Amino acid sequence: MQDDSKAQPHQSLMSDSKLPRFTRLDKFDPHRKDFACKHEADANPPITAEAEGLFQQALALVSYEMWSENRNYAKAAQLYEQAMKLGHWKAQFNLAGLYLQGLGIEQNPEKAIELTEDLMRKGVPAAWDNMGTMYMGGIGSLKQDATVAYAFWQKAADMGSMASQAYIGAKLKATHDEPPSFWGNRAIGLQMLECAFAQGSASGAFELAITLVGKNPELQEDNGRALKIFHEGVKLGSQKSAGYLFASFDDGASPVTTGPDKARARRYKILADALYLNPDLRFPNLDKVLPLPPAQLPQWDMGAPRTLIDAAKAVVPPASSPPQAPAPTSQRTSRLESTERGMLVTHTRVAQGIAREADLPTPLVRCSGAGRCLVTGIWQARVPDDHALAASFNQWHRQSYVMEGQPFPDPREQHLDIDPAQIIWTWWNQANHLGFARIPQVSVGNPPVAG
């Protein structure tokens, strides 16, 4: 890639063709002075329940939980196409990927480009990011061009693509220029990484955390925050974050400041290995099995790594459970609340193996995010549907394992402009079993009811 450090902000690239692949774009400006954080969930087209059902069926056929020879890409391609015709943008995105790789369908890079262009017309930020990647790789009829690729990634980042924000942010976070590897625009780079992290980007979390490791406040270094973000990165599915914390706790190196902790290191290693095999995994309930110090580790049978992995996963309703309406906004209170009325957890299905199914306790137990947790267990967070960040925040993996008496997680620590009082938390139970001398033990499922 050429040195674009002197690029003018309104200098345009590419031809005047009406095809989205030839959109006139501002040249990549590594020394830009501002960045407005946008979330891609606010730009993506809505998805119907019928289309989502077909999409999940397709994902199940190509799950990382299956041996590669057992994955049915041909059938998945058919289901993706059906879902795409019902307006499912993710299915169209995945179908383009199958055309690009020739998995389950005849390889056709031009078809992949066309499907991506259609999503670009629909305003999907990830499609603009993908077009940049296609230019960088010289896919199909596209001539390999790093300058054009960076222009697309810059456009995608400004639209809200968390992938582009994480990538460009990592390129700009340096303290000096060394093109084309990186540029010294640390303030803007950090803003992009914070935005990607707030959206739930695993790579954004890792890049942000590794940038904050250290003790120099002039560079915004902060080992304490870096440690927390690495930990959050593991929750989001960052294998690199899990590997980094394994090494840090094993040696007692930054951002760890409490000395070597082999027990914690061992658990991060197991989770890192699991994410290497299945990048789709998410561990929102990591604190159930691996809380940060000074919290004590719950006891765990080292011969049962699957228990550690499953206990950290998200919990979702069984696929057979009928969807229920969200609770009215007026039910927000600062006290613990039990009610039989609508679930605060949107009924969802997720790809095989990345979450585990469980039934919500009845009657439902709810609590405002402004209060403290009154009962230990897994809690699901949700804001009212009319909240400005509802599309970004109300995801199936917005869960947390919270101990009795502790405050609920504050979304503002992840640069989400959400007042904790606006969040309603719904209890799933799923507390760790109490073993000998009432010491918590890592467990999957709900504790047995005392007789």
- Domains annotated for the chain, with CATH where assigned, are 12-191 (1.25.40.10), 326-441 (no CATH)
Residue type, 409: P
Q: How far apart are CA 440 and CA 140, in angstroms?
A: 56
What tokens were used for 413?
């620590």
Rounded to a whole number of angstroms, the distance between the first and last alpha carbons of the chain is 70
SS3 170: helix
Q: How far apart are CA 5 and CA 206, in angstroms?
A: 26
What tokens were used for 240?
């690199």
Q: How far apart are CA 269 and CA 354, in angstroms?
A: 18
pLDDT tens readout for residues 133-187: 999 999 999 999 999 999 999 999 999 999 999 999 999 999 999 999 999 999 9
- CA distances to 11, 169, 313 from 29, rounded to whole Å, are 10, 12, 40
pLDDT tens readout for residues 328-341: 333 322 333 333 33
- CA distances to 21, 240, 396 from 202, rounded to whole Å, are 28, 9, 16
Q: Is the pLDDT of residue 432 over 50?
A: yes
pLDDT tens readout for residues 7-63: 333 345 555 578 999 999 999 999 999 999 999 999 999 999 899 999 989 999 999
- CA distances to 165, 432, 441 from 438, rounded to whole Å, are 46, 11, 9
- CA distances to 199, 333, 399 from 308, rounded to whole Å, are 26, 34, 17
pLDDT tens readout for residues 271-300: 999 999 999 999 999 999 999 999 999 999
Phi, psi for 267 (deg, rounded to 5) = -70, -40
- CA distances to 52, 95, 107, 136 from 80, rounded to whole Å, are 10, 6, 16, 26
